[in-house]
Amino acid sequence: MDKTSKTFSKRIKITKTGKLIRRHMGLSHFKAKKSPKSIRSRRNDITIASVDLKALKAHL
């Protein structure tokens, strides 16, 4: 059994059904050059594609 990737586990949350949720990138700074619509759309978390689940769950 491999060790858990702590940097990865801090960025990801597992839902009750087993999906992985992550934050959008690019919202911590340089907001002046982004449109308000772009900033609003990045507020919500997104689910990781089912294609990547097996590989990413190996890091947890």
Q: With a cut of 70, say whether residue 1 has pLDDT above it.
A: no
Evaluate whether residue 41 is within a structural domain.
yes
What range does the domain containing 34 cover? 6-53
Is 20 within a domain?
yes
CATH code (residue 42): 4.10.410.60
In angstroms, the CA 54 to CA 50 distance is: 8
> What does the mean pLDDT of the chain come to?
90
Is 29 a domain residue?
A: yes
The reply to whether 28 falls in a domain is yes
pTM above 0.95, yes or no: no
Per the CB < 8 A criterion, the answer to whether 39 and 31 are in contact is yes
Q: Is residue 23 part of a domain?
A: yes
In a domain, 59, yes or no: no
Question: Does 44 fall in a domain?
Answer: yes
Quick check: 29 pLDDT over 80? yes
CB-facing half-sphere around the CA of 31: CA atoms within 13 A? 10
